[in-house]
Amino acid sequence: MEGGNLVLQIINMGLQWGANHLGKPKPLRLSTIMPETHGAVQPSESKTLASPETPVSQVSNKEVVDYQRQELLKNALLLKTHLAQGCRINGKPCDCCTKHPTIIEGLAEEAIPMSRSSVYSDMARFARKIAPITTPEAVGSGQYDSQYPDLAIELRDLIKRLASEGQPA
């Protein structure tokens, strides 16, 4: 039991030290909280928000739409593959066909006001249409199995349209 007593003695010593040192109030001084305002430490040369040197986004609408198109293509190609596989991995329903439509809808909706092309509206509409029938529960029901290959073909056509948007005229 000596080991137990030693532990209690160490804890007691720690508590006594804390009571002696931490219990005493220390004067609160601005120089303690903000040393940079009192000589010893000089303020840094930071740029303010209003500084003319502050970089401002120079991304054009075209660059944003090009970015959106690339991200849409990536997600649409993955979704097309998942749809062709019946939204299953090793025969088991997965969430792949749930997450890609959400991403596609968001990317497409962001591009709509910056582009004259209807493909972005069509992509968003497609994503909204398939969302309820591509949840793991819907896939597991087997009720929509015959629709997934047709949806993959429909998405393939949208992908072709989207890809051609980035080609020079």
Domain extent listing, the chain: 61-165
Lowest average pLDDT, out of 28-37, 104-113, 116-125, goes to: 28-37
pTM: 0.65
> Long-range contacts for 51-55 (Cβ within 8 Å, ≥24 apart)?
none
- DSSP code of residue 116: -
Q: What angle do CA 125, 88, 129 make, to 5 degrees?
A: 15
Burial code (b: 16+ CB inside 10 Å, e: under 16) for 106-144 equals bbbbbbbeebebebbebbbebbeebbebbbbebbeeeeb
Quickly state the pLDDT bin for 131 (edges 50, 70, 90): very high
pLDDT tens across 80-111, in order? Answer: 999 999 999 999 999 989 999 999 999 999 99
Arithmetic mean of pLDDT, 23-49: 57
d(CA 88, CA 140): 9
Arithmetic mean of pLDDT, 35-57: 59
Residue 133, SS3 per DSSP: helix
Structure tokens at 34: 């903000």
